[in-house]
Chain A
Amino acid sequence: MAKIELQSNPNTPLNSIEVNPSENLQGYQVTLDGKTVDLNIQWTQENAGVITYQGQQYPFALLQTQDTISFWLAGQSVTYQKPQPKSRRDNAALGQGQFSPVVQAPMPGTILKILVQPGQVVEANSPVLIMESMKMEMTLTVPCKASIQSIPCQEGQLVEMKQVLLTLEQVE
């Protein structure tokens, strides 16, 4: 028997999954949330193969690195990440407690226009920045009603993905 724990995201419960060879030695019985399904698996390549469920074939691919598992199945994919050691996870959680909202670049690109000034109070979802990436303009908005704390970028600047463009303070 093997037990594997998978969690879709931190807000959903952890799923503990049991994988057992079937008694007739054909395929596997996989148990999740008290429900067992019969699955068959065939590896046809180093990182890919076919899973059979209820007579239906599902092609899959699986890639593991030290820190991630990427799984593709019949057109969809998901990536699981190995959690950081406990102490680092606690630190991250601590950081989350002091979390203040920011506007980040969703893509690497260029800042075209800054629509706000420090100190300004804006409503939730109001546009604050226009940036361009891959020849497309996109308008960035604030996630909540907020006062603009600082603008650590300027018009015309090339920015990296996830770079902080605005720091905010939530306004109730």
Chain B
Amino acid sequence: MFRKVLVANRGEIAVRIMRTLQEMGVKAVAIYSEPDSLANHVIQADEAYALGGKTSQESYLQIETILAIAKKAHVDAIHPGYGFLSENAHFARACEQAGITFIGPTPEVIGMMGDKIIAKEIMQEAGVPVVPGWVGDPDNFAEIEQAAQSMGYPVLIKAAAGGGGKGMRLVSQPSEIKDALASAAREAQKAFNDPRVFVEKYITHPRHIEFQILGDQHGNIVHLFERECSIQRRHQKIIEESPSPFLSPALRDAMGQAAINAAKAIGYTNAGTVEFIVDESGQFYFLEVNTRLQVEHPVTEAVTQCDLVRLQLQIASGEALPFTQTDCQQTGHAIECRIYAEDPANQFLPSVGTLSFYQEPQGPGIRVDSGVRQGGEVSVYYDPMLAKLIVWAPSREAALQKMRYALTHYPILGVTTNVAFLVQIITHSAFIAGEIDTHFLENNTISTENDLESPLGKAMAALAIHTHPKKNQLEQTMNESSDSNPWQLAGLWRVV
């Protein structure tokens, strides 16, 4: 096993990886940008090194600086987390060349799967079903329009190097395709430094269901069942669960086998995810392989009682998988909600500010993976995800009840969050019935009304203001500085 591992990431995932490292007696090394100098992952680490810079580009994406730190700190391995350099084949190769183990698949596999066009070809050859699509010269509009026409609108434009919905555009009519291609290519260039895009038939009522896979260096490959990730906004997942309420045991077995076939076709090692789109009839299509630990991995950990990071470390250090497929069981039901600093009432625009009050919910079956704390800043530089809230219970019904409890016992002040919106989704009758697809949020009305603006909400606020333990002190200062009448000591307050 490794002695010392550098975690080339920030936020909740860096903290989560470091916890497992430290449990295993492995020293954890953090790297940090200027705005992150007091971040949780820096505090969690045994050693921390400054990268300099503010934006991702200037800091967490600086391959040479990171490798120089890794050498200086004498680490045996680098864990890339998700995002940033986690699916960068060049980085994985540079680690290898520097004599440092990259915790993930080989650079060749990352490279192949990172190119969505090549990945699709390989899977088609391996007999894994794929979505009909078109690849070619992105400037040849005539040909693209013709291909889209024959596939039938709507079509989806995707980035060859894509992921996380970046560089993705839905096109519902021919007149939109030119602008969509340009905009997608621009976003792809920004996010992945690769402007290539391709066109795919758009599956209506698609579910997004993915399988966790694990492969060791001895040729053993298992899957750890599915995660249903159909609830998305801006093409990004916000709620994930396992098991999927849609899969029958037979379909689960068929998809699990397809995931293993996909992994075998490329000689996959370490942890990965095979993503599928599933249509209403249960027909499934290969979407892509994510060659890294996923954001939503705790859902799988909860239903299989595995620590995926521990398994990643064991695999990377050459150990064989400690179990076979028949040992793997899916027990109970797990749900994850991603807690974002964003405003669901205003196009999910990110919200920045200081977390003036922040307290995580607690209790049996409740897990919070977070990278923030009270008093911390949510800055403009990085992804606005504050935390992941994961619950586990014996049944889906009990898990939903637990999630509702946890969400409503998670006070956050200082930034606008999506918590109330998440409560609305998980208590929606269609969601409870398991009637979900990736258009759930477009096709169902999710209220963004604020109950605190109701008379009862105001009555409760007024009572809290009136009985606040520090009220007397506050009133005194306000009394001295204003000419308010004694009946209005707390004054007039307006919603901002």
Contact = CB atoms under 8 A, between A and B. Distances in A.
B462 A17 contact: yes
B349 A39 contact: no
A95 B488 CA distance: 28
B326 to A, nearest CB: 42
Interface string B474-496: 10010000100001111111111
B107 interface: no
Interface string A66-84: 1011111111111111110
Interface in A39-85: 39, 41, 43, 46-49, 51, 53, 58-64, 66, 68-83, 85
A162 B29 CA distance: 38
A51 B464 contact: yes
Interface string B49-82: 0000000100000000000000000000000000
A97 to B, nearest CB: 20
B272 interface: no
Contacts of B352: 107-108, 161
A69 B458 CA distance: 12
Contacts of A83: 491-494
Interface in B194-226: none
B137 interface: no
A63 B413 CA distance: 8
B38 interface: no
B464 A75 contact: no
A72 B357 contact: yes
A139 B383 CA distance: 19
B180 to A, nearest CB: 12
Nearest to A18: B462
Given A43-B467, A61-B413, A3 B420 contact: no
Interface string B393-432: 0000000000000011111111011011001000000000
Interface residues of A, number: 69
Interface string A1-17: 11111111110101101
B189 to A, nearest CB: 11
A37 interface: yes
Contacts of A73: 451-452, 457, 460-461
A137 interface: yes
A133 B423 contact: no
Given A7-B495, A8-B453, A48-B359, A112 B186 contact: yes
A135 interface: yes
A33 interface: yes
Nearest to A139: B183
B347 interface: yes
B465 interface: yes
Contacts of A85: 482
A109 B465 CA distance: 37
Interface residues of B, number: 66
Is chain B's binding surface mostly helix, strand, loop or mixed? mixed
Given A17-B458, A107-B349, A107-B350, A62 B464 contact: yes
A77 B477 CA distance: 25
B141 interface: no
A32 interface: yes
Nearest to B357: A61
Interface in B64-116: none
Contacts of A19: 462-463, 466
A134 B495 contact: no
Contacts of B459: 17, 30, 32, 37, 39
B467 A41 contact: yes
Nearest to B383: A134
Contact of A72 (B413, B477, B482, B496): B413
Given A2-B490, A4-B490, A72-B357, A9 B495 contact: yes
A48 B467 CA distance: 11
Contacts of A70: 356-357, 413-414
B63 to A, nearest CB: 19
A104 B467 CA distance: 39
A161 B352 CA distance: 10
Q: Which of the listed residues B347, B409, B459, B461 has the most CB atoms from chain A within 10 Å of its own CB? A: B459
Contacts of B190: 132, 135
Given A70-B357, A72-B411, A82 B460 contact: no
B357 A81 contact: no
B420 A76 contact: yes
A136 interface: yes
Nearest to B165: A136
Contact of B382 (A3, A132, A134): A134
A88 interface: no
A10 B496 CA distance: 9
Contacts of A79: 495-496
Interface string A100-122: 00000011110010000000000
B464 A71 contact: yes
A80 to B, nearest CB: 3
A4 B350 contact: no
B450 interface: yes
A39 B465 CA distance: 13
A68 B477 CA distance: 14
Contact of A78 (B382, B383, B457, B491): B457
Given A46-B469, A82-B493, 15 more contacts: A5-B493, A43-B467, A59-B408, A59-B409, A64-B465, A73-B451, A73-B457, A75-B420, A78-B452, A79-B496, A82-B491, A133-B380, A134-B382, A136-B234, A137-B183
Interface of B: 56, 166, 183, 186-187, 190-191, 234, 346-347, 349-350, 352, 356-357, 359, 380, 382-384, 407-414, 416-417, 419-420, 423, 450-453, 455-470, 474, 477, 482, 487-496
7 closest A-B pairs (Cβ-Cβ)? A80-B493, A17-B462, A61-B411, A78-B452, A30-B459, A74-B408, A5-B492
